[in-house]
């Protein structure tokens, strides 16, 4: 190299070093001058009005998902400040002048602080960064209000997009913070030593001839004293069982008589000579009901608990459960590449397997799910225990049947404190746990947030649910974690985004169009409905696939794909008039209860398809085992194939091998379903019937010769072998319900009352 060339290289290198030093110095100076611009966390805000639509709006050639604000309307978004120097970032715009956007922060004590008030930007998106006068941990609300500058000005429609709270750093050393989840420490009622009596049975158990739970009966006026052990941060969880008793003539009192009796009664809880809680029996309606009350152990000051019933003649009142629970701190497990194992669980409502490419469908657009199935394991027939979201997701999170956890069998129920959930088992194994749900059925109201350190429910599209999940994952990726992402885009009404609609086939499948035309033969009558149930539904599935793709890409970008077990499963299917109806929740046919299941990640064979039918509760056991946090709980499922061999299965020991079976139970639930149904499936046979009848309304189908279940073998005068098969399946279902009711660590909770 010549001297002149060498000099040029040295000069260029020197200039590069000087530029790098100046750039670093400039960044440091800007960071010192405005530390809020150094982002440590981003929290995406969603409105607390679940029905708020979030369509895409195009301004200035740029399209964004934005909320529309008519003049005078208000958008309110709750948030918790997660770090220092919080800043609200948002974009706003309008198509026409005449609008004013006002942005305010509402403090925890109700004080309103104005952050921004200015005319809206016309024809484009304007970015604003508004410092928030809030501290770490403050629960605040952000309000966006559309106004007009003065009277007489034509109101303008405003749009608000990309609302995010950015913070400069983390307030605590997260490596020192433990995972906390509650655990049952003691059962004082069992240790009491008194006589427990059989309480009146619930209507569901009555139909099967089962007795009610064993309770400590509380006759009017009598008091009982129980010894309560002390525990730091402990809580007493009491379940009260109440039911109407027959009158002197042996007749069941009317609902009005029961309501009057219940309204006059209550249960008092005393500690140290003072009342610490009072629970009214007014929750009692038709049949046996139960209530849950939480009492902090600090209320007792080391003294015992005295329980006394007041009033409510003609009712049975007893204590069915009395548990001492306490926080269980577990040190977080750090992530170690190649050693750790995370779990990403994606649950999709109304997702039919026959509309996914990996299940043979060629008219949709699901490249991400298809690729996931190609590098993992796909289950051909997974059968959910019910026909709608709440009971099925509860079964998936608890590993128990609906007759055990009780959710979806009657309104107002919550998970029993004795039922261990999948996220609890993960938290006790040192995992970070976060849940993000777009369904109001999966929320803290039903107790389905138990075990999650962070749980968010907001009825928003899948991309927003995924964005919130990714924001949380960015904070916990240095540790092992379990993340639940629950999306509901494929449920009715079918309103996909235009981009997803363009990605799928523009014409409905001929088989769907033909089926709808048979229902309504008027010219063109079936076309619009066929588009809704065909391309529009496929487009919503494509949107779910796109959201799953965002999660998978994040795993790849963070080098976590090889250390993460990914499970994608449907909550329930959807009927498209295969048996005369649509939607879900009304029967237990295959199109409603068969759900897709794709599993990929460490320990999972690639490119395998499992043909054997499995019930949904087996998926809970599968996640716990492959996720490496064990099955510490009451999971009723068994490890499904190919991970379970004949020698491993308690069902497959001995000479006789029990055939694979799946059971279904559907109860009337206000606003969802009007019917009481049962279902029993073997590989060849399907029995459908009324749960309240003794086989009179049963239907039996031979799935080997009639896979669409259209020919009822019990219609007319069936032969004796057909009758015997129906009786066998009916007995199997009754035995399943009996076993799950008896196996329940605690009966379903109907109501919750907090201590005063």
Query: Is the model more confident about 46 or about 35?
Result: 46
Q: What is the dihedral of CA 15, 17, 23, 26, to 10 degrees?
A: -100
Mean pLDDT, the chain, whole residue set: 79
- 725 and 685 in contact (C-beta within 8 Å)? yes
Size (the chain), residues? 756
Lowest mean pLDDT among 14-28, 57-71, 235-249, 718-732: 14-28
Q: Cα separation of 435 and 457, whole Å?
A: 8
367-376 core/surface letters (b: 16 or more CB in 10 A; e: else): ebbbbbbeeb
Element (H, E) at 359: none
Residue holding tokens 């065909």? 534
Give yes or no for residue 96 having a pLDDT over 90: no
Q: What is the pLDDT of residue 9?
A: 61
DSSP string, 245-287: PP-TTSPPPPHHHHHHHHHT-EEEEEETTEEEEEEEGGG--SS
Indicate the pLDDT class of residue 704, thresholds 50, 70 and 90.
confident
| CATH code of the region 179-330 | 2.60.120
Indicate the pLDDT class of residue 166, thresholds 50, 70 and 90.
confident
Indicate the pLDDT class of residue 37, thresholds 50, 70 and 90.
very low
Which parts of 133-273 are beta strand (E)?
Answer: 139-147, 158-167, 179-186, 197-198, 214-217, 223-226, 235-244, 266-271
Q: What is the pLDDT of residue 31?
A: 44
Q: Cα separation of 449 and 431, whole Å?
A: 15
Query: Is the model more confident about 10 or about 88?
Result: 88
Determine the average pLDDT of the residues in 395-415: 84
- 614 and 391 in contact (C-beta within 8 Å)? no
Maximum mean pLDDT: which of 24-33, 350-359, 648-657: 350-359
Q: What is the pLDDT of residue 203?
A: 64
Q: What is the pLDDT of residue 655?
A: 36
Give yes or no for residue 36 having a pLDDT over 50: no
Each residue's pLDDT tens digit, 49-60: 444 456 788 888
Q: What is the pLDDT of residue 503?
A: 80
- 541 and 355 in contact (C-beta within 8 Å)? yes
Query: Is the model more confident about 287 or about 721?
Result: 721
% pLDDT > 90, the chain: 20
Q: Cα separation of 263 and 266, whole Å?
A: 8
Q: What is the pLDDT of residue 35?
A: 35
% pLDDT > 70, the chain: 79
Q: What is the pLDDT of residue 371?
A: 95
Each residue's pLDDT tens digit, 533-542: 778 888 899 9
Lowest mean pLDDT among 288-292, 404-408, 515-519, 524-528: 524-528
Q: Cα separation of 756 and 753, whole Å?
A: 9
Q: What is the pLDDT of residue 493?
A: 79
Determine the average pLDDT of the residues in 684-709: 80
| Domain definitions of the chain by residue range | 41-171, 179-330, 344-501+554-649, 662-743
Q: Quote the tokens at residue 704.
A: 């080997």
Q: What is the pLDDT of residue 48?
A: 52
Q: Cα separation of 372 and 569, whole Å?
A: 12
Q: What is the pLDDT of residue 366?
A: 92
62-89 core/surface letters (b: 16 or more CB in 10 A; e: else): eebbbbbbebeeebebebebbbbbbbbb
Residue holding tokens 């966390």? 41
At the topology level, CATH places domain 41-171 in: Jelly Rolls (2.60.120)
Query: Is the model more confident about 415 or about 437?
Result: 437
Q: What is the pLDDT of residue 349?
A: 92
Determine the average pLDDT of the residues in 548-570: 95
Indicate the pLDDT class of residue 170, thresholds 50, 70 and 90.
very low
Q: What is the pLDDT of residue 34?
A: 39
At the topology level, CATH places domain 344-501+554-649 in: Alkaline Phosphatase, subunit A (3.40.720)
Give yes or no for residue 622 having a pLDDT over 70: yes
Each residue's pLDDT tens digit, 212-221: 777 888 888 7
Q: Specify the DSSP class assigned to residue 749.
A: B
- Matching CATH number, 662-743, of 3.90.320, 3.40.720, 3.30.1120, 3.40.1620: 3.30.1120
Peptide bond into 642 cis (omega under 30): yes
Give yes or no for residue 526 having a pLDDT over 80: no
Give yes or no for residue 97 having a pLDDT over 80: yes
Determine the average pLDDT of the residues in 607-624: 93
Give yes or no for residue 746 having a pLDDT over 70: no
Each residue's pLDDT tens digit, 264-299: 788 888 887 788 877 777 765 556 677 777 788 877
Q: What is the pLDDT of residue 749?
A: 40
Same fold, 41-171 and 179-330: yes
Give yes or no for residue 28 having a pLDDT over 50: no
Each residue's pLDDT tens digit, 461-494: 899 899 999 999 998 998 999 999 999 888 887 7
Each residue's pLDDT tens digit, 108-122: 777 888 888 888 888
Q: What is the pLDDT of residue 756?
A: 38
Cβ atoms < 10 Å from Cβ of 385: 29
């Amino acid at each position: 190299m010549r001297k002149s060339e060498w000099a040029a290289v040295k000069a260029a290198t020197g200039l590069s070093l000087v530029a790098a030093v100046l750039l670093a110095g400039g960044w440091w100076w800007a960071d010192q001058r405005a530390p809020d611009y150094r982002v440590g966390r981003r929290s995406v805000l969603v409105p607390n009005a679940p029905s708020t639509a979030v369509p895409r709006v195009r301004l200035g050639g740029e399209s964004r998902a934005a909320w529309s604000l008519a003049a005078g309307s208000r958008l309110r978004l709750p948030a918790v400040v997660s770090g220092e120097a919080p800043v609200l970032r948002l974009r706003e715009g309008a198509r026409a002048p005449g609008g004013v956007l006002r942005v305010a922060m509402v403090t925890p004590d109700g004080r309103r602080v104005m952050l921004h008030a200015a005319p809206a930007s016309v024809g484009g998106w304007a970015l604003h960064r508004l410092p928030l006068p809030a501290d770490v941990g403050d629960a605040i609300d952000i309000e966006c209000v559309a106004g007009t500058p003065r009277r007489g000005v034509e109101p303008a429609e405003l749009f608000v997009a990309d609302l995010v709270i950015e913070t400069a750093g983390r307030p605590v050393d997260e490596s020192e913070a433990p995972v906390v989840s509650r655990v049952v420490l003691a059962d004082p009622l069992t240790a009491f030593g008194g006589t427990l009596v059989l309480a009146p049975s619930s209507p569901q158990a009555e139909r099967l001839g089962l007795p009610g739970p064993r309770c400590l009966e509380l006759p009017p006026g009598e008091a009982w004293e129980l010894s309560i052990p002390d525990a730091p941060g402990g809580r007493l969880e009491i379940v009260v069982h109440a039911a109407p008793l027959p009158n002197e003539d042996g007749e069941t009192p009317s609902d009005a008589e029961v309501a009057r009796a219940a309204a006059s009664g209550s249960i008092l809880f005393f500690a140290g000579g003072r009342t610490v809680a009072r629970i009214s029996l007014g929750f009692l309606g038709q049949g046996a009901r139960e209530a849950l009350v939480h009492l902090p152990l600090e209320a007792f000051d080391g003294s015992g608990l005295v329980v006394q019933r007041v009033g409510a003649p003609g009712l049975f009142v007893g204590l069915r459960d009395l548990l001492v629970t306490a926080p269980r701190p577990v040190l977080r497990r750090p992530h170690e590449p190649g050693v750790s194992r995370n779990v990403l669980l994606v649950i999709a409502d109304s997702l039919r397997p026959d509309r996914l490419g990996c299940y043979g469908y060629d008219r949709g657009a699901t490249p991400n799910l298809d690729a996931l199935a190609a590098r993992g394991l796909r289950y051909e027939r997974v059968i959910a225990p019910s026909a709608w979201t709440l009971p099925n997701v509860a079964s998936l999170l608890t590993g128990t049947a609906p007759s055990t956890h009780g959710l979806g069998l009657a309104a107002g129920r919550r998970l029993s404190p004795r039922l261990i959930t999948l996220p609890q088992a993960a938290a006790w194994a040192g995992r970070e746990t976060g849940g993000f749900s777009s369904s109001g059925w999966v929320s803290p109201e039903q107790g389905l947030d138990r075990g999650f350190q962070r749980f968010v429910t907001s009825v928003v599209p899948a991309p927003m649910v995924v964005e919130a999940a990714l924001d949380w994952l960015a904070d916990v990726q240095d540790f092992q974690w379990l993340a639940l992402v629950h999306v509901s885009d494929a449920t009715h009404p079918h309103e996909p985004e235009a981009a997803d609609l363009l990605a799928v086939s523009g014409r409905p499948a001929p088989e769907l169009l033909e089926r709808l035309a048979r229902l309504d033969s008027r010219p063109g009558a079936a076309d619009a409905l066929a588009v809704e149930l065909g391309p529009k539904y496929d487009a919503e599935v494509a949107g779910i696939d796109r959201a799953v793709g965002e999660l998978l890409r994040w795993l790849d970008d963070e080098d976590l794909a090889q250390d993460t077990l990914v499970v994608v499963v449907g909550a329930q299917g959807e009927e498209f008039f295969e048996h005369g109806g649509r939607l879900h929740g009304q029967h237990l046919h295959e199109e409603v209860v068969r759900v897709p299941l794709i599993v990929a990640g460490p320990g999972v064979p690639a490119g395998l398809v499992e043909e054997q039918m499995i019930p949904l509760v087996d998926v809970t056991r599968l996640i716990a085992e492959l996720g490496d946090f064990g099955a510490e709980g009451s999971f009723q499922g068994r490890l499904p194939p190919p991970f379970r061999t004949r020698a491993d299965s308690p069902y497959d020991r001995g000479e006789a091998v029990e055939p694979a079976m799946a059971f279904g139970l559907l109860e009337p639930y206000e606003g969802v379903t009007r019917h009481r149904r049962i279902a029993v499936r073997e590989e060849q046979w399907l029995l459908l019937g009324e749960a309240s009848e003794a086989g009179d309304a049963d239907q039996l189908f031979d799935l080997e010769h009639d896979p669409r279940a259209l020919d009822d073998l019990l219609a007319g005068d069936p032969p004796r072998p057909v009758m015997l098969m129906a009786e066998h399946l009916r007995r199997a279902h009754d035995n399943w319900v009996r076993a799950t009711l008896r196996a329940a660590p605690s009966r379903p909770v109907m109501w919750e009352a907090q201590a005063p």
